[in-house]
Amino acid sequence: MQNSKHISRLHSKTCCVLIIGIIVVIGIFSGFMFPQFYYIFPLGITPKPICANQSLEFCQINSSQQFSKYIWMITDGTSYEYIEKLENHFSDHAKVFVTHTERIRYSVELYKTWFTGTLNDRMSYKKIDCETIFGTFKRSGLKSSYIGAKYVQGIFLTSKHWEDFVSIEDHDQQKKQHVQPWPFFFEDGNEGQQRFDKYLDDVVNQDISFFAYSTVSDHIIHKDFTAYKGRNFSESAEHAVLVYDRINFMKQWIDDHPDILLIIQSDHGHDEMIDYRCEPHGTGLHNNTGWQILYNPRLSPEKSLEMESLDIAATISNYIKTGPDNDGYINIPANNLGIARNLFERASDNLRAKKQSLASMLYLYDETKNEWMNRGMWRKNQILNLIDERSVIVNNIRKFVYNESIYDVSNSIQDELNIDENGYNNEGQFSEQIKQIIDSNSETVLKSKAFEEAESNGIYKKALSHYKHIKEQAENANVQLFQAIKTFDIPTSQREVYWSYLNTYFLQILLAVVLISQFFFVDMKVM
Ligand SMILES: [Zn+2]
Ligand SMILES: [Zn+2]
């Protein structure tokens, strides 16, 4: 009896340790691993080039507008309000985009969006887990180097992302108040000038493009705000003129090196006082916002006043050559959600670029769906219902992206006109008119043509409505697809994840608690 009691206690002790051990292991697994895995999704999808096989129609673009080298200069926090002189100087061969964001305008968040084409994630200070535009450049065979402050990009780039640059030169611009933009080039006396010459020489002779990041302007806007409480930004405005003074010579320089694309940008405007409260980096209204100037003598002058910062990665990618043998193809960052806002010479190219953006989103959607399929039973039914709901929309988008070429559009217009029996029978002349409309780049031109011609034969009106329908379909598709992907991305906070996890496993958890308490109850009675 004595002996048996001893064995029973020993037995119960081992059991107890074992069960507690199992509970701890399961607890750690379910408490951290699984919800965490869910939480970080869908950023973990492995990037894959959409145009890898390059047989798709929408991967081909007007190659005379693409470049195998670039010089990309950012002046952080120089408001569009103040760059009139700079814009006028470059405007005869520039694509100008005034950029906006409806989300947080902190530099880190903006650059995350700019470089990846994904939405910023509410100041999480998480490192990104997807391809950046510099990775895309590398994939296209371009070499890039980085010069400037590293501390902003360093918040979200991992060491793997930094490997996309062949060289990195860190110049922290916080330690003292600099006067000149890009002080490592323009403030360091002879040394700075030599440094700049070396970078320019590397682009020309070594085919190493460069990204130069100046934070001086951002420091000045905050200094101005502190000093004048938002009433006066005179020093910021003066700095924008210094930007012009330092780099206006680049216009002639690029004209002499027309194989290089020049990109000059700022991410946001200055702080604003709204109802006695500071709106960091401004509201984006009244031209107090970010901007981009893409300059090359081959580009025709065009300007867009409304570009969402989500579209920057896709748009810039389209101006980059994808390698010596791949004339006219485009590579867009793998997880990009933005629309390519290219102001190309031909509207059909514009549509192709948009189709490719959509294709990369379709890829993301498919990967998201596959991930959910492979994820076992947890919340599976709920997610599969969502997938069913979305599949109709997504399949329509897929049809549009992969099947309906721009040439089918002109055919469908023609068919419809034949059915209408409107008496128009000169097919050659008709096709020419349709071609003009589809190739036209400007919506204003389309509208005025349609207005002029609508009364006489009704053709332009019809063609315009078809063209606009396709265009709208592309725009809306992007939004719909994004919403479809977003649905899988909920819940977004850790607490929500734990709560839904608790809900899902409520019965199992209750059962486990009952079993465990029963075990302790029995054990104590034996003791
Ligand atoms: Zn900034
Ligand atoms: Zn700032």
Segment 320-346, tens digit of pLDDT:
988 777 777 778 887 777 777 665 555
Half-sphere exposure of 247 (CA within 13 A, CB side): 31
Asked if residues 107 and 77 have their Cβ atoms less than 8 Å apart, the reply is yes
What is the residue range of 515's domain?
2-41+493-526
Among all chains, which residue has been given the structure tokens 């498919």? 366
Q: How far apart are CA 294 and CA 342, in angstroms?
A: 11
Distance 449 CA to ligand 2 centre (A): 45
- 3-state SS of the chain: helix, strand, coil percent to 5? 55, 10, 30
Last residue of a domain, one of 343, 361, 395: 343
Shared-domain flag, residues 175 and 301: yes
Q: How far apart are CA 119 and CA 42, in angstroms?
A: 12
Distance 106 CA to ligand 2 centre (A): 7
Residue 422 pLDDT: 46
Q: How far apart are CA 299 and CA 445, in angstroms?
A: 19
Residue 421 pLDDT: 45
pLDDT (average), residues 197-209 = 98
Whether pLDDT at 432 is above 60? no
Residue 244 neighbours by CB under 8 Å, 6+ apart: 83, 85, 86, 89
Q: pLDDT confidence of 8, banded at 50, 70, 90? A: low
Ligand closest to Cα of 75 equals 1
Q: pLDDT confidence of 502, banded at 50, 70, 90? A: confident
In a domain, 473, yes or no: no
**Count of the separate structural domains present in the chain:** 2
For residue 341, the tally of other CB atoms under 10 A from its CB is: 22
Minimum mean pLDDT range among 169-178, 285-294, 332-341, 462-471: 462-471
Reference 183, options 296, 107, 257, 76; nearest CA is 76
Shared-domain flag, residues 25 and 139: no
Minimum mean pLDDT range among 147-156, 167-176, 427-436: 427-436
- DSSP assignment letter at 127: P
In a domain, 265, yes or no: yes
Reference 147, options 189, 205, 204, 195; nearest CA is 195
In a domain, 412, yes or no: no
Last residue of a domain, one of 279, 308, 343: 343
Residue 444 pLDDT: 53
Ligand closest to Cα of 221 equals 2
Return the top range by mean pLDDT from 55-64, 123-132, 192-201: 192-201
Shared-domain flag, residues 180 and 286: yes
Distance 207 CA to ligand 1 centre (A): 29
Shared-domain flag, residues 36 and 97: no
Residue 372 pLDDT: 60
Reference 474, options 364, 374, 362, 380; nearest CA is 362
Asked if residues 275 and 117 have their Cβ atoms less than 8 Å apart, the reply is no
Per-residue pLDDT of 477-498, as tens digits, reads: 666 666 666 555 544 455 665 6
Per-residue pLDDT of 38-82, as tens digits, reads: 443 444 444 455 666 556 767 777 788 899 999 999 999 999 999
- Supply the mean pLDDT for the chain: 76
Distance 526 CA to ligand 2 centre (A): 69
Whether pLDDT at 436 is above 70? no
Distance 153 CA to ligand 1 centre (A): 11
Ligand closest to Cα of 268 equals 1
Residue 305 pLDDT: 80
Q: How far apart are CA 133 and CA 112, in angstroms?
A: 10
Ligand closest to Cα of 280 equals 2
Ligand closest to Cα of 224 equals 2
Ligand closest to Cα of 110 equals 1
Reference 383, options 478, 483, 490; nearest CA is 490
Q: pLDDT confidence of 472, banded at 50, 70, 90? A: low
